[in-house]
Amino acid sequence: MQKFITKSEKQTLALGEKLAHYFQGGEIIGLIGELGAGKTVLIKGMAKQLNINKTITSPTFVLMKVYSINNKQSIIENLVHVDAYRLNSGQDLIEIGLEDWLGKSNTITAIEWADRVKDILPKSKIIVKIKFGKKQNEREIKISNLKSLWKKDTNQ
C-alpha cells in the first residue's frame, strides 16, 4: 500500500498520468471514494497519458464507455471506463458486456465505485482509495498492489 497526498485537482490528474505511465496492458484499476472525491479526475489523467484525445465524460448514465487508443508503440488499445455508482453487484456489469474487456492484455479497465462490484474483480486488481484531506481540495490517495506496476520501472 502506497500513500499519496495531492493538493489540487491538477495534482490528482498528474498522479493519474504517473500511474498510467507504468501500465503494461490488462490492468484493472478499482477506484473507491465518495461523490466528488476525484475518481474521474484520476482516470482523466490516465487517459491523457494513454494519448486519448477524446474528452473523458462521466459514464454514470451508460455505465461503461470504451475509448480506443491509437498508438502504434503501445500494445494498449482500449481504455474502458466503468461506473458502478448505482449497481448492487458485479453481475450487472457482466450483463452489459464487461467480460469482453476485463483483463484483456490490450485493455486497461478503470472501475469507479469498485467496492460495489468486488465479486467480479480478480485478485490482481489495483485498488485506489481516495479520501478527502484536511484542507480544501486536498486528497489522500492510497494505492494497493502497486508493485506489479513498479516492476516495469525496475526492469528498465
Partner 1 sequence: MDNKKYLTILGIETSCDETAASLLKVIPKNKGVRFEIISNVVSSQVSIHRQYGGIVPEMAARAHIGKIIPVIESCLKKMPRAKKLPDLIAVTSGPGLITSLLVGVETAKTLSYVWQKPLLGINHLKGHVAVNFMSGNQQKIFPAVCLIVSGGHSELVLMKNYNQYQKIGQTRDDAAGECFDKVAKLLNIGYPGGPVISQQAEQFGLKIKTIKFSLPRPMINSDNFDFSFSGLKTAVLYLIKKQKHKLSDKKFVQAVCAETQQAIVDVLVSKTMRAAKKFKTKSVILCGGVAANKELRKQLKFQVESLNPEVNFLVPPQNLCTDNAVMIAAAAYFKFKNLTKTQQNRLKNNWQKIKTNPNLEI
Among 6, 12, 40, 107, binds partner 1 (CB under 8 A): 40
Among 7, 10, 21, 86, binds partner 1 (CB under 8 A): 86
Q: How far is CA 80 from the centre of its chain?
A: 9
Smallest gap from Cβ 17 to partner 1, in A, equals 17
Q: Is 19 in contact with 41 (CB distance < 8 Å)?
A: no
Place of cell 486497461: 108
Binders of partner 1 among 102-121, rule CB under 8 A? none
> Facing residues of 66 across strands?
80
Nearer to partner 1, 75 or 96 (CB): 96
| Ramachandran area for residue 26 (φ above 0: left; ψ -120 to 50: alpha; else beta) | left
Q: Which residues in this chain contact partner 1 in the complex, by CB under 8 A? A: 34-36, 40-41, 55-58, 60-66, 85-88, 91-92, 95-97, 132, 136
